[in-house]
Amino acid sequence: MIGGIGRAVAVLFAKEGADIAIVYLNEHRDARETKRLVETEGCKCLLIAGDVGREKFCKDAVQRTSREFGRINILVNDAAEQHPQEWITKITEKQLERTFRTNIFSMFFMTKAVIRHFKNGGNIISTTSVTAYQGSPHLLDYSSTKGAIVAFTRSLAQALAEKKIRVNAVAPGPIWMPLIPRLSRPNEVATFGSDTRMGRAGEPEEVATCFVFFASDDSSYTTGQVLHPNGGRVVNG
């Protein structure tokens, strides 16, 4: 869904003067609204619909972005899906593969496609989750992918440091997003985020600043790290 954190990140990057390509699955209305908000800031916005779980699509999306803008400086890996299940036996092979394809395979595919377009360094910023550190009993496959993203970030940062490509990640806690009411029970929606130290869920705009920091020269000595906008949960990670 091109709302929530993804939209907030796109708009904040636009406020900093960045032209943006947004890759999404089929949320055309949300994508058009995000494009409108980006263009309101005076920046260009390219919309590309397709499945990031497929390598060919990722290659095509990167090529199209390069042709449109002439260069690529930053890759934000933010695509994800989750399917809560009460018990591990409810997680089908199809669900397991789909979750991993969208949440972690896509990061390999997009990174492989984009790094040759980086000139004189670059930035890769991925979205992991507090569930990578604390776990989640009803999101076994989702939290597993988020743990993989942490390892991916740390390993890729080491692999690309000599090429002056910095790789970092953001691990949000409970953040208000359009999908929360759809995926949660009514009583869970009412108390969502209340168990954090700050006693509330975060807003997408409170997460977006982490991405802009990692993309800026203010973080020029930072790679392989994770920021934790999570309302005060201590995860030691």
Bridge partners of 48, per DSSP, are 23
Which of 24, 133, 142, 221 is an active site residue? 142
- Residue (of 151, 107, 147) closest to 130 by Cα position: 147
**Largest separation between any pair of C-alpha atoms in the chain:** 50
Does the annotation mark 142 as catalytic? Answer: yes
- What amino acid positions are annotated as catalytic residues? 142
